[in-house]
């Protein structure tokens, strides 16, 4: 799988490490995607995307489009602080979540299937 990482830099997590982690998640989920883009944006950009595509006029942590995951670093930073772990760890959680959405899973409609898979994938890739 080819992974392109764009946008803002993530402290203590290189673009190479981000791409490698996304590949590990994909293997752990036993999924297949040829190409994936992961873009890091600020809250303003995420709010605009969320408003345009989901009609929700607020920021969110991660949005997944075909072959693209968009992550708000501002929101990820707040969530990391609330959960008392690093921004790098939170970004990994969001990448895992986004990859599962890219594979077609939808936690809003699947009666817990995605959430259960996400927990198994996290365990396999060392995210607890």
pLDDT tens track for 47-77? 999 999 999 999 999 999 988 999 999 999 9
- Alpha-carbon span 47 to 28, nearest angstrom: 31
C-alpha–C-alpha distance, residues 70 and 50, integer Å: 10
How far apart CA 44 and CA 108 sit, in angstroms, is 24
**Both tokens assigned to 75:** 């929101």
Helix (H, G, I), strand (E, B) or coil at 76: helix
| Cβ-contact 80, 90 below 8 angstroms | yes
Q: Give the SS3 label for residue 69.
A: strand
89 pLDDT more than 90? yes
pTM of the model: 0.94
Q: Which domains does the chain have, with CATH numbers?
A: 2-125 (3.40.390.30)
């Amino acid at each position: 799988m080819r992974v392109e990482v764009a946008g803002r830099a993530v402290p203590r997590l290189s673009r190479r490490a981000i791409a490698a982690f996304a590949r590990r998640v994909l293997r752990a989920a036993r999924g297949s995607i040829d190409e994936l883009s992961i873009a890091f944006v600020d809250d303003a950009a995420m709010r605009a995307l969320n408003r345009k595509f989901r009609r929700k006029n607020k920021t969110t942590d991660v949005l997944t489009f075909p072959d693209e995951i968009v992550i708000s670093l501002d929101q990820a930073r707040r969530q990391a602080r609330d959960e008392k772990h690093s921004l790098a760890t939170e970004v990994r959680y969001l990448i895992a979540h986004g990859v599962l959405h890219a594979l077609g899973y939808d936690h809003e409609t699947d009666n817990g299937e995605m959430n259960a898979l996400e927990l198994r994938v996290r365990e396999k890739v060392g995210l607890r």
